[in-house]
Amino acid sequence: MKQQLDQSSEMTMDIFEKISGHEQVVFCNDPSTGLQAIIAIHNTTLGPALGGTRMYPYASLDDALDDVLRLSEGMTYKCAAADIDFGGGKGVIIGDPKTDKTSALFRAYGQFVDSLNGRFYTGTDMGTTMDDFVQAAKETHFINGIPVEFGGGGDSSVPTAQGVIYGLKSTAQYLFGDETLSGKTYAIQGLGKVGYKVGQQLLEMGANLVVTDINKDAIAAIQAQAEVHTGNVTVVESDDIYHVDADVFIPCAMGGILNDETIDQLKVRAIVGSANNQLKTEHHAKLLHEKGILYAPDYIVNSGGLIQVADELYGANKARVLMKTKAIYQSILEIYKQSELDAITTLEAANRKCQQRLEEQRGRNNFYRRQRSPKWIFKNEV
């Protein structure tokens, strides 16, 4: 028995070491619906945690936990960078989104979200849809990113893509002294909801594109756009996108694609994209810096969607969201200038800015230290 207790104690300490730096991690289990989920709340200094919930068939519980911890920490920095009054959180549902989804499962998840009493707001992410969270919203007020007809802001890829365009303009201003995007070549990796919209706008401006995507319909659609605009589209295979001659690389697909192998191949002046966690590690920001490639931190570039879902909690207003999204232009420009001034990477400059905002509020505004204020309850029951 003593040996069993010692082993149990050791396992407990391992868990607490793993979640060190996070305020709260909640394991959600509902056998009747098959729900197995984890909610991670990283930091509520700036306000209640905000972050989407993804559904993915993780190979192990450790993989799911590692993912939700990493993503929730990233949301803290993303919220701080976007200058919104929310903290960082994230949810993951363990399961195959193609076969394991049910309305009952998402209603059960909504009940777990509601049990946190306003400490965590969530909505769509990879593997989940707005309709999934219409079901969750039947059980809780603390849902965002739902369709317009249910009082939400609708498709968040619109402000996300617009944020990428602002990031590209500020990058052009910094590198070339002119924010004009026409006449330059952009390599786009991924033509999903965001990447396609970015490519379409660039073609309308007269830019040239080199694109790759496994979805042949998306390729055909962007080629059709080129036929009615002045820009050109060249299609390459997935791995070839890293060594094309272009002015800017725009990653809009998977994360972790900037690593030792790919950075060595790059022939671009800058990287400005919407994909989350583009850097394999923080060390790769230094490799880009040493190579003279300007890197726009992804959590600032892609924050247009976050701005929309956060703003939605005050009442959906598209004009207000697009107005707030314009701030991405100045934020990226300031990061570039600070990086140059302090001789540090752009990632370090961005992180320092976020840490400064958190430190300014720490100790007097931790959401978990006070009772839930009515100001955080904005929406009526769906």
Run of H or E residues at 199: helix 193-204
Q: Please give the structure tokens belonging to residue 227.
A: 């036929």
* Residue 96 exposed, middle or buried by CB count within 10 Å (0-12, 13-18, 19+): exposed
The backbone torsions φ and ψ at residue 212, rounded to the nearest 5 degrees and listed phi first, read -145, 145
Instruction: Please answer whether residues 72 and 49 qualify as being in contact, where contact means their C-beta atoms are separated by less than 8 angstroms.
Output: yes
Residues 5-36 as b/e (b if ≥16 CB within 10 A, e otherwise) read: eeeeeeeeeeeeeebeebbbbbebebeebbbb
For residue 155 the two structure tokens come to 């498709």
- CA 207 to CA 223: how far, in whole Å? 13
SS3 346: helix
Which residues are CB-contacts of 13 (< 8 A; sequence separation ≥ 6)? none
d(CA 211, CA 187) in angstroms, rounded, equals 6
Which amino acid does the sequence have at 348? E
Catalytic residue among 18, 78, 90, 286, which? 90
- Partner residues linked to 124 by β-bridges: 53
Question: Encoding tokens for residue 102?
Answer: 């049910």
CA 225, 230, 231: angle at the middle one, nearest 5? 70
Reply yes or no on whether 90 is catalytic.
yes
Helix pair angle (157-176, 193-204), 10° resolution: 50
β strands within 69-118, DSSP E: 87-94
DSSP letter at 153 equals: -
Q: Three-state DSSP class for 56?
A: strand
- In the block, tokens 């991670």 appear at 40
Q: Transcribe 162-185 into DSSP letters.
A: HHHHHHHHHHHHHHHS----TT-E
> CA 358, CA 274: separation in Å to the nearest integer?
24
The set of catalytic residues is 90
